[in-house]
């Protein structure tokens, strides 16, 4: 679960990237300071670590999330029609 891949919508191809330092699933990914960043997740337990990708390799950030967590209340699927 340390493996990472990038999908190009332009070329419709996958590229293997450097592995993360910590295997994780159920994490969140966002862009922080222009870098893809993964937060939390699960690997033999809930994680509180944060890793960022500099275009070549992943590095663990010194900061950690306050409470180890994974899945972050993400829906497994999104319905076609949502109403309020």
Q: Which residues contact 11 (CB under 8 A, 6 or more apart)?
A: none
pLDDT at position 74 over 60: no
Q: pLDDT (tens digit, 9 = 90+) per residue, 9-62? A: 999 999 999 999 999 998 988 888 999 999 999 998 999 999 999 999 999 999
Q: What is d(CA 65, CA 12) in angstroms, rounded to the nearest whole number?
A: 34
Which has the higher per-residue pLDDT, 72 or 38? 38
Q: What is the pTM of this model?
A: 0.75
Rg of the chain, C-alpha, whole Å: 15
What's the pLDDT score for residue 76?
58
66 token code pair:
């306050």
Q: CA 1 to CA 25: how far, in whole Å?
A: 7
- Listed in sequence order, the residues at least 6 apart from 35 whose beta carbon sits closer than 8 Å to its beta carbon are 52, 53, 54
């Amino acid at each position: 679960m340390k493996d990472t891949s990038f999908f190009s919508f332009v070329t419709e191809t996958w590229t293997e990237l450097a592995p993360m330092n910590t295997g994780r699933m159920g994490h969140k990914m966002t862009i922080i300071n222009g870098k893809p960043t993964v937060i939390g997740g699960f690997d033999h337990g809930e994680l509180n670590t944060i890793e960022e990708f500099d275009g070549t390799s992943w590095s663990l950030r010194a900061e950690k999330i306050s409470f180890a967590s994974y899945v972050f209340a993400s829906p497994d699927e999104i319905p076609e029609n949502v109403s309020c």
